Each structure stands twice: as structure tokens, then as C-alpha cells.
Amino acid sequence: MSRNLFRLFVGAMLAIPVAGGLFFIMQYLIATADPEIDESETRKLADIHMPETEIETNLKEAKPDKVDDPEQPPPDLDTPDLDMDMDMEVVNTAPQSAVELEISSTGMSASDGEYLPIVKVAPIYPRRAQTRGITGYCIVEYTVTKTGSIRDPQPVDCSPAGVFERASVKAAEKFKYKPRVVDGEPIEVAGVQNKFTYELEN
């Protein structure tokens, strides 16, 4: 214990002269410093003032100007007139083409020809023939049944061959007749023919 006190006493005795020496050194530095103060004018920065801006809010939405109505209405589109004759001729719905229908029968006299066509449908002009400017005809033969419908339509004479057969048979299948009546009973009429003539309008 006495050894620790001795060390503490020795440390205190050494610290006192060190602190006193530092104090005197600081006093000497202060006394020898240049007392003159730098009184040169300092440059002052200009003050910056931001102008106050007022923000306006437009709550009213501007409406677009009204478009004036045209002085003249647009011209009417020309619609082609479709002329259909139930007995002799039907104009095809394909553009720039016409199909003529002719109905005839074999082995029937005028007094026996009491069946009458009710619905006749014009065939659609084949697109390939129309674009190539091909014209011609096709005769289709069929049987008119007791109900007035068509049975077994077959192309019998077509020119040029292999062009108008399919369109002619499809059109003939849609034909409707008033059946022939003998002694108050409807009967079938075989060998009825229809000629489809395919022509291109100029």
C-alpha cells in the first residue's frame, strides 16, 4: 500500500512543473503575437431576392370550336337495279354478268304442262370464268316432284365443258314449282330442262 502512495506522490510532483511550464509557454506566445488586426474591407455578396410569383389555376376547360355542318349532303350511292323476270330472264348478282334462264320440257303438250315455276334462282357466275371473260350456257335436266321440288338435276349439254355445270346444278336445286295435277292428284314430271345462259355485260 505504501508503495502505491509513493508512486502517486512522485507522479504528482512531476506533473506540477510540467503544467507550470506549459502555462508560461502559452503566455509567451500570446504576448509575442502581432496585435494588429486585419482591417481590410471585406467584399459583401449581393443579396439575391426571388420575386414572388402567383400561380393561376384555370378551372374552366376550353371547349373546342363547333364544326360547321356541311353545306351540301354527300351524294347518294348508286345502287344497281336487279331486274328479275320469273318466266324468261334473271340477271345474276355477280357484277358485270347476266344469266338467262329458259325452261322447257320433253314429251309434254301445252294442255298437260300445268306445272308452273314459282321460285327460280339465278346461278352465281363462276369467278374463274368471269375473270377470264368466258361465256356460254348449260342445260340441266331434272324431275319436278309431287311437292314441287327438284330431284336428280343433271347437266346434259354445257358449253364450254367443265365450266358452268356446277353453278347450274346448284341453282336448279333451289327451284320450286307448282306441281302438275291430273284428276285432282299431283304427279311427277320428268325430263324438265332448264337452260342457263352465261353472258358478260359490256
How does strand 116-119 pair with strand 176-178?
Answer: antiparallel
Q: What is the share, in percent, of the chain residues with pLDDT greater than 70?
A: 58
> 96: which residues sit within 8 A by CB, 6+ positions away?
130, 200, 201
Q: Would you mind telling me the total number of residues written for the chain in this entry? A: 202
* pLDDT value for 45: 61
pLDDT for residue 147 is more than 60: yes
Average pLDDT, the chain: 75
Asked, as a colleague might, if the bond just before 160 is cis with ω within 30 of 0, I would say yes
pLDDT for residue 22 is more than 90: no
Q: What is the pLDDT of residues 74-120, one digit of tens each?
A: 555 544 343 333 333 333 334 456 666 565 544 443 344 578 999 99
* pLDDT value for 32: 78
* pLDDT value for 108: 41
Domains of the chain: 89-199 (3.30.2420.10)
In the beta sheet, which residues pair with residue 156?
A: none
